[in-house]
C-alpha cells in the first residue's frame, strides 16, 4: 500500500510534517515520513525514548498470550515485525528461547500451550526463529537446577526476539536524522489544531501541512487540552519490572497461579529482568514502580526458586504506562494491543500499539499523511 502511494508524492515538494512524541511510535512515524521525502520535525517534551518505550519487557514478540483472545492478525503482524527488527539491527537484538515450565494444576493445560505454540509457529511462517519443543522434567531441571520441582511435569520452549529498547529507539532516531529529519527535545507541545497549527510551551506557534500526535499515554491528554473531540479513549495500564543479579542465562515465562497471570524472567545484559505487573494508571500520578508491585514480583519469583530474593537484591526497577484502547467490556489483559489512527483534517492522532509493531504503525501513519498532503 505504501509502495503504491509513494509514486503520488513528488520528492521535490517539501511538505512539512510535525511529529509530537519521541517514543518508538513517534520515531517510526517520523522515520517513515522522512523516507517519503517530507520535511519532518519531531518534538519531544523530555528526551528521546525516555518514557514507555524504554520501560518495556524488551521483547520483540508476537505475543503468545494474545492468541488466547484470538488476536491472530496482531500476532501475525508482530511476528513479521519481529523478524524486521532482528535483521535491521542485529547488534541491538537477539533471538531468545523462552521456557514455560508446566506444573500440575497450572493456569493453562499442556494441550492449551501445545495448540498455542503450533499456531504461533504457523503464524510466524517463513519468519519463524525456530520451532517450539517439549522438555522433559529432567531437561528442565538440568537447564534450571534451582527451579521448584514440586508438581513440575515438563516444559515447552519457544522462540521470540529480545532487544535493547532504548538503544534500538535511538538507532531509529539516527535513521531519521540521516534522512534530514530534525528533533527538538525538552520541547512540550501544549496545543494542536485540526488545521496543522502547533503551539509550544514557550508560546511559539508553527504551521505544518500535517501534524501527528504520537504522545503515547499522553495522546488523549493533548487532544483534550486542545479542545478537540475524539471518539477513542485510552486506558493506561502501568507495568513494573525489576532487575536482579542473574538467576540464569536462559529465559522463563512463568505462571503466577494467585494472580492468574504470566510473567517473564529474562536474561538481560548480564542480569535478570523480571516483569511485569498490570495496574490501572492515572496520569496525575508519577509513572514509577510501587512497593506493592515490587513485592508482587519478588513474591511471584520466589515461588519458583530455592534462592529467595529480597528488596536488597534489586539493582534497578522501572515502570511504564501502556496506552491501551479503552473497551468497557474487557478486562485489562484482554484488551487488544492493536493501535488506532484517527485523522481529522491535518491532524493525525495515534492511539495504542506495541513496540514490536511500531514500524507498521509508522507505515499506517504515513498512509494517512499522504491522504492529508495530496
**Residues of the shown chain interacting with ligand FAD in the complex, contacts defined by CB under 6 A:** 20-26, 43-46, 50-53, 55-59, 61, 188-189, 214-218, 222, 239, 276, 320-323, 353-356
Output the smallest distance, CB 101 to ligand FAD, in A. Answer: 20
Output the smallest distance, CB 14 to ligand FAD, in A. Answer: 23
Calpha distance 158→48 (Å, rounded): 32
H or E segment to which residue 336 belongs = none
Instruction: Measure CA of the first residue to CA of the last residue in the chain; give whole Å.
Output: 15
Output the smallest distance, CB 278 to ligand FAD, in A. Answer: 8
The residue sitting closest to ligand FAD, measured at its beta carbon, is: 23
Output the smallest distance, CB 149 to ligand FAD, in A. Answer: 29
Which of 16/137 has CB closer to ligand FAD?
Answer: 16
Calpha distance 364→343 (Å, rounded): 11
Output the smallest distance, CB 80 to ligand FAD, in A. Answer: 13
H or E segment to which residue 103 belongs = strand 93-103
H or E segment to which residue 88 belongs = helix 72-88
CB atoms within 10 A of CB 229: 8
Output the smallest distance, CB 154 to ligand FAD, in A. Answer: 26
Output the smallest distance, CB 309 to ligand FAD, in A. Answer: 20
Q: C-alpha grid cell for residue 51?
A: 518514557
Q: C-alpha grid cell for residue 245?
A: 543479579
Which of 56/143 has CB closer to ligand FAD?
Answer: 56
Which of 103/238 has CB closer to ligand FAD?
Answer: 238
Which of 135/213 has CB closer to ligand FAD?
Answer: 213
Which of 36/51 has CB closer to ligand FAD?
Answer: 51
Calpha distance 143→297 (Å, rounded): 22
Please choose, from the candidates 295, 275, 304, 256, the residue with its C-alpha nearest in 3D space to the C-alpha of residue 58.
275
Cβ proximity of 2 and 368 under 8 Å: no
Calpha distance 255→155 (Å, rounded): 12
Handedness of CA 197, 198, 202, 204 (dihedral sign): negative
Output the smallest distance, CB 285 to ligand FAD, in A. Answer: 15
Task: Collapse the DSSP code of 216 into the 3-class scheme (helix H, G, I; strand E, B; otherwise coil) and give the result.
Answer: helix
Which of 9/190 has CB closer to ligand FAD?
Answer: 190
Which of 102/223 has CB closer to ligand FAD?
Answer: 223
Output the smallest distance, CB 139 to ligand FAD, in A. Answer: 26
Please choose, from the candidates 261, 252, 301, 334, the residue with its C-alpha nearest in 3D space to the C-alpha of residue 107.
261
Q: Which burial class, exposed, middle or buried, applies to 312 when counting CB atoms under 10 A from its CB (0-12, 13-18, 19+)?
A: exposed
Chain Cα centroid distance, residue 126:
23
Task: Collapse the DSSP code of 39 into the 3-class scheme (helix H, G, I; strand E, B; otherwise coil) and give the result.
Answer: strand
Q: C-alpha grid cell for residue 120?
A: 504461533
Which of 135/236 has CB closer to ligand FAD?
Answer: 236
Which of 181/323 has CB closer to ligand FAD?
Answer: 323
Which of 9/177 has CB closer to ligand FAD?
Answer: 177
Output the smallest distance, CB 25 to ligand FAD, in A. Answer: 4
Please choose, from the candidates 341, 373, 342, 374, the residue with its C-alpha nearest in 3D space to the C-alpha of residue 18.
373
Name residue, grid cell 515465562: 253
Amino acid at each position: 500500500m505504501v509502495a503504491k502511494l509513494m509514486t503520488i508524492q513528488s520528492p521535490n515538494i517539501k511538505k512539512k510534517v510535525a511529529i509530537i512524541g519521541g517514543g518508538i511510535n513517534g520515531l517510526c512515524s517520523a522515520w517513515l515520513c522522512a523516507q517519503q521525502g517530507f520535511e519532518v520535525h519531531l518534538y519531544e517534551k523530555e528526551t528521546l525514548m525516555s518514557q514507555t518505550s524504554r520501560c518495556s519487557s524488551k521483547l520483540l514478540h508476537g505475543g503468545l498470550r494474545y492468541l488466547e483472545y484470538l488476536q491472530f492478525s496482531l500476532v501475525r503482524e508482530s511476528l513479521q515485525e519481529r523478524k524486521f527488527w532482528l535483521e535491521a539491527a542485529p547488534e541491538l537484538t537477539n533471538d531468545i528461547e523462552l521456557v514455560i515450565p508446566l506444573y500440575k494444576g497450572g493456569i493453562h493445560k499442556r494441550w492449551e500451550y501445545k495448540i498455542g505454540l503450533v499456531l504461533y509457529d504457523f503464524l510466524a511462517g517463513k519468519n519463524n526463529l525456530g520451532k517450539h519443543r517439549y522438555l522433559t522434567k529432567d531437561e528442565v531441571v538440568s537447564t534450571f537446577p534451582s527451579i521448584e520441582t514440586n508438581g513440575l511435569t515438563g516444559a515447552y520452549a519457544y522462540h521470540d526476539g529480545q532487544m535493547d529498547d532504548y538503544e534500538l529507539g535511538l538507532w531509529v532516531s539516527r535513521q531519521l536524522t540521516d534522512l534530514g529529519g530534525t528533533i527538538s527535545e525538552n520541547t512540550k507541545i501544549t496545543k494542536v489544531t485540526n488545521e496543522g497549527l502547533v503551539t509550544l510551551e514557550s508560546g511559539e506557534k508553527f504551521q505544518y501541512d500535517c501534524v501527528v500526535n504520537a504522545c503515547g499515554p499522553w495522546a488523549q491528554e493533548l487532544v483534550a487540552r486542545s479542545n478537540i473531540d475524539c471518539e477513542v479513549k485510552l486506558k493506561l495500564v502501568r507495568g513494573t519490572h525489576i532487575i536482579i543479579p542473574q538467576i540464569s542465562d536462559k529465559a522463563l515465562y512463568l505462571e503466577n497461579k494467585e494472580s492468574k497471570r504470566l510473567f517473564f524472567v529474562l536474561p538481560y545484559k548480564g542480569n535478570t529482568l523480571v516483569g511485569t505487573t498490570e495496574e490501572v494508571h492515572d496520569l496525575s500520578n508519577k509513572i514509577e514502580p510501587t512497593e506493592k508491585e515490587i513485592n508482587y514480583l519478588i513474591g511471584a519469583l520466589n515461588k519458583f526458586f530455592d534462592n529467595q530474593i529480597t528488596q536488597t537484591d534489586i539493582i534497578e526497577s522501572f515502570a511504564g504506562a501502556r496506552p491501551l484502547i479503552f473497551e468497557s467490556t474487557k478486562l485489562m489483559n484482554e484488551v487488544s494491543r492493536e493501535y488506532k489512527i484517527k485523522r481529522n483534517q491535518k491532524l493525525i492522532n495515534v492511539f495504542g500499539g506495541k513496540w514490536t509493531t511500531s514500524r507498521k504503525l509508522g507505515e499506517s501513519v504515513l498512509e494517512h499523511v499522504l491522504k492529508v498532503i495530496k
